[in-house]
Structure 1
Amino acid sequence: MPGYVLSCCSTADVTRDWLEARDIKYLFFNYYLDGKVCKDDFGATNPPAQLYAKMLAGADAKTSQISAGDYMAHFEPFLAAGQDVVHVTLSSGISGTYNSACAARDQLAEKYPGRRVYVVDSLAASSGYGLLMDKLAELRDGGMGAAELAAWAEEHKSEVQHWFFSSDLTFFIRGGRISKAAGLVGGMLKICPVMDVAPDGSLAVKEKIRTKAKAEKRVVEKMEELAEDGLGYSGKCYISQSECKADALEVAARVEERFPKLDGKVEIFPIGATIGVHTGPGTVALFFWGKKRV
């Protein structure tokens, strides 16, 4: 076994069982629902259907990044036990949690001078972040050391492609990511914006597609264009979705038909509360390994 711990946050939007099967340690983001602190704990506190129903009914939902103190409490037991830590954070283009993790690392360095915490900014989100963690766990299990693993993650993290669309613009408008005027017109015309995660880890609207069916087709076309080895892609593919499983299954079926060498079936996960508070229901996100985001 390696002498270090691989770690991430619950915003990797996989499942508790998925993380534990890969021996990836994790800590939870928090969010506020009508002023009450809740844990982004893979839907244990608020199952997605319940969360979105409350939001659609007018509940005030806000996200909260992990504090430096929380990171210290997470890292310290591993350091005290003589283990280094490779921790990968949610994209700095979406959250300030990377800075909190770095602050915790720096404070603990004085107390544990013989140990190292490597903090990697994933520049990824949701199950794209999870796809990166899957690869890192595989490399760790293959014998890669902590420093080498952190360096590999820095070199290759931008190869995780994120393409997603939403059929419900309510919370993109409420959060200011789409203007009210554009949202009104978009709703009338059945516009589904197709978005990706930019090289700096922020969200970017790339295209405005009329109808959900065309958006489903378009994200798969982007995979054909950008996946490593094109239609010969033999890596893994993840999808995350916010209470629109049928739409996610449709995209998965298209992917499995177009990419016969895929490594297993497309895995579909729920979008967690931290990301879901910003997207609301109706979002499908497709993740795969491909060309570097530039």
Structure 2
Amino acid sequence: MPSYVLSCCSTADVTREWLDDRDIKYLYFNYYLNGEMCKDDFGATNSPAELYAKMLAGAEAKTSQISAGDYMAHFEQYLSQGLDVVHLTLSSGISGTYNSACAARDQLAEKYPDHHVYVVDSLAASSGYGLLMDRLAGLRDSGMGAAELAAWAEEHKGEVQHWFFSSDLTFFIRGGRISKAAGLVGGMLKICPLMDVAPDGSLAVKEKIRTKAKAINRVVEKMVELAEGGRDYSGKCFISQSECLADAQEVARRIEETFPRLDGRVEIFPIGATIGVHTGPGTVATFFWGQRRA
């Protein structure tokens, strides 16, 4: 049995059952709907359909990062059992939660001098963060120790590729990520912006593609270009989606056709509330292992 626990946040956008099965511990982000605090708890409080319906009806939605106090409580339950902790946070380019986790680690260090909390900024988001956790769980299960695992994560986290598009720009406009004028033109021209996560962990618009069908084609092309081994890619592929399952299934079908050596079927997960508050419905995100992001 390892002498440490592997941990992440609910923003890894997998499922509670998936995390439990991989023995990955987790804690919840929070978000607010019309001033009421809710847990980003894999859709238990508000299913994705309920969340987006409320947002489209005009509910004010805001995200709230995990506090240092919440991190302290999470870490201490394991430190008090004599276990170390390897915790990966949501990308610092999206959230300040990495700083909160580091503050909690530092405050606990004096109380537990013989045990360690290793905090790693994943520089990843949604199920790309989940894909990284999947690899780390495998390395842990193969016998890798806590310090070595944290170092491996630091060295290789930039190899998780994130490519996503949205067919509904409503909440990108509302959140200020796309101007109203650009959003109006984009809607009229059926523009689906193709985005990725930059090396610093922030979101970046890479291409403006006309029509969803072409956006799907382009995601598969980017995977051929960037995946480890090209068309011979033999790793895993995760997809997350916000109330557009048919679009995600079409991307998955195309990927499985194009990459015959893929490790299993493409796994599709719902985008959780923290990310979904910013994307709204209509976003499909594809994640795989490949070249270091540049």
Report the TM-score, using the length of structure 2 for normalisation.
Answer: 1.00
Q: Distance in 2 between matches of 1:114 and 1:45?
A: 38
SS across alignment from 2:257: helix
Q: Distance in 2 between matches of 1:214 and 1:52?
A: 25
- The amino acid of 2:285's aligned partner reads A
User: Partners of 2:152 and 2:174 in 1: how far apart?
Assistant: 38
**Could you tell me how far apart the structure 1 residues matched to 2:217 and 2:19 are?**
30
- C-alpha RMSD of matched pairs (Å): 0.3
The amino acid across from 1:138 in the alignment is G
> In structure 1, how many angstroms separate the alpha carbons of the residues matched to 2:71 and 2:157?
22
Aligned twin of 1:197:
197
Alignment of 1:2-21 (within 5 A): 2-21=2-21
Show CA shifts across 1:209-261 (max 9, x none). Answer: 00000001101100000000000000000000000000000000000000000
> For residues 35 and 77 of structure 2, what CA distance do their matches in structure 1 show?
31
The share of aligned pairs that are identical, in percent, is 85
1:64, 1:221 → 2: CA distance? 35
Matches within 5 A, 1:135-154: 135-154=135-154
Work out the CA distance in 2 between the residues paired with 1:27 and 1:20.
12
The answer for the alignment partner of 1:184 in structure 2 is 184
1:50 maps to which residue? 50
Cα deviations by residue, 1:4-45 (Å, 9 ceiling, x for unpaired):
000000000000000000100000000000000000000000
Alignment partners' CA distance in 2, 1:279 and 1:219: 18
Q: CA deviation at 1:105?
A: 0.1
Q: Which runs of 5+ in 1 are unaligned?
A: none
**Distance (Å, rounded) in 1 between the aligned partners of 2:91 and 2:212:** 27
Name the SS of the counterpart of 1:98 in structure 2: helix
Counterparts of 1:47-196 in structure 2, within 5 Å, are 47-196=47-196
Q: Which residue of 1 aligns with 2:269?
A: 269
Provide the C-alpha distance between the structure 1 equivalents of 2:71 and 2:98, rounded to a whole number of angstroms.
Answer: 10
Q: How far, CA to CA, are the matches of 2:139 and 2:76 in structure 1? A: 24
Segments ≥4 residues shifted beyond 2 Å: none
Residue in 2 aligned with 1:226?
Answer: 226
What secondary structure, in the 3-state scheme, does the structure 2 residue paired with 1:269 have?
Answer: strand
Aligned to 1:217: 217
Amino acid at match of 1:117: V
Shift of 1:164: 0.2
Instruction: State whether structure 2 residue 278 is matched by structure 1 residue 283.
Output: no
Report the Cα offset of residue 77 of structure 1: 1.1
Distance in 2 (CA, whole Å) between partners of 1:122 and 1:217 is 28
For the residue of structure 2 that corresponds to 1:111, the secondary structure is: coil
**Residue 83 of structure 1: CA displacement?**
0.3
Cα distance in structure 2, aligned partners of 1:182 and 1:197: 21
Provide the rounded CA distance (Å) in 1 between the counterparts of 2:31 and 2:100.
16
Q: Give me the whole-angstrom Cα distance separating, in 2, the residues matched to 1:245 and 1:176.
A: 26
Partner in structure 2 of residue 248 of structure 1: 248
1:261 counterpart letter in structure 2: R
TM-score (norm 1): 1.00
